Amino acid sequence: MTNRIRAGFTENGQIARILMGDKLLLMPCHIIRENMKSLEQKILEDYLVGSVKYKEKFYFYAMPVAWWILDYEKYSPSILSSKERRINFRNGVLVVTDYNIKPYLESIQEYKLTHKELSEIIYEIDRKYPEEGYAYLNFFIDFDKKEYINGFYDIELEDYLPDESWKGKFDEPLKYLPLHLRAQWQ
């Protein structure tokens, strides 16, 4: 038996009805629209590119600024007012500590970029918008050294660290990558 997918919208157009075989799924339309956007569109609108170092390995992500904030409780205390929001945001990891790095990384897995994707998007965006800096490396989070390098001008994210053992500063994140990874931006 093949799984047929049929989709439609409720009368108000806010909820998509998706029929997969004999199962009916209801999903908010804004989630569907968000997932249909290209990576380029997301970066041009509000996703920020950054790197995470964990257990001596470097990973790259393009995601909304909220996902780059290590102490979201301190940054936005209003998130504590709703149990649903607390649970749904980053799988409940509001403050990234030594004890929940893995769950945090799992919660941002969907935003992870392969080196090929990263190279392609940097090339494509820089070609189309050479002076805008959309594909700029905004963050470098080193979980091994507990160091947060913020290159994002709009918010002093280095002020929202999990605890006093972390060091944060406003600086050029590219300087903290090995040369072979930096080359993508040059």
Q: Is the pLDDT of residue 11 over 70?
A: no
Q: Is the pLDDT of residue 33 over 50?
A: no
Task: Name the band, by pLDDT with cuts 50, 70 and 90, for residue 173.
Answer: very high
Q: Is the pLDDT of residue 125 over 80?
A: no
> Could you tell me which residues come within 8 angstroms of residue 38 by beta carbon, excluding any fewer than 6 positions away?
none
Using only C-alpha atoms, the chain has a radius of gyration, in whole angstroms, of 19
Beta pairing class for 47-54 and 137-142: parallel
pLDDT at 72: 92
Residue 146 and residue 97: Cα distance in Å, rounded? 10
pLDDT at 6: 46
Q: Is the pLDDT of residue 145 over 90?
A: yes
Question: Span 119-139, mean pLDDT?
Answer: 77
DSSP 126-181: HHH-TTT-TT-EEEEEETTTTEEEE--SSS-GGG--SSTT-EEEES-GGGGS-HHH
Q: What's the whole-number average pLDDT of the chain?
A: 81
pLDDT at 14: 57
The larger pLDDT score, comparing residue 81 to residue 141, is at: 141
The larger pLDDT score, comparing residue 6 to residue 99, is at: 99
The larger pLDDT score, comparing residue 186 to residue 4, is at: 186
The larger pLDDT score, comparing residue 102 to residue 8, is at: 102
Q: What proportion of the chain, given as a percentage, has pLDDT over 90?
A: 42
pLDDT at 3: 44
pTM value is 0.76
Distance of CA 42 to the CA centre of its chain: 10
**97 burial via Cβ count (<10 Å: 0-12, 13-18, 19+):** middle
Q: Is the dihedral of CA 19, 27, 106, 174 positive or negative?
A: positive
pLDDT at 5: 43
Instruction: Count CB neighbours of 138 within 10 A.
Output: 22
> Could you tell me which residues come within 8 angstroms of residue 175 by beta carbon, excluding any fewer than 6 positions away?
149
Q: The tokens 């002076």 sit on which residue?
A: 131
CB 20 within 8 A of CB 5: yes
Question: Span 117-134, mean pLDDT?
Answer: 76
**156 burial via Cβ count (<10 Å: 0-12, 13-18, 19+):** exposed
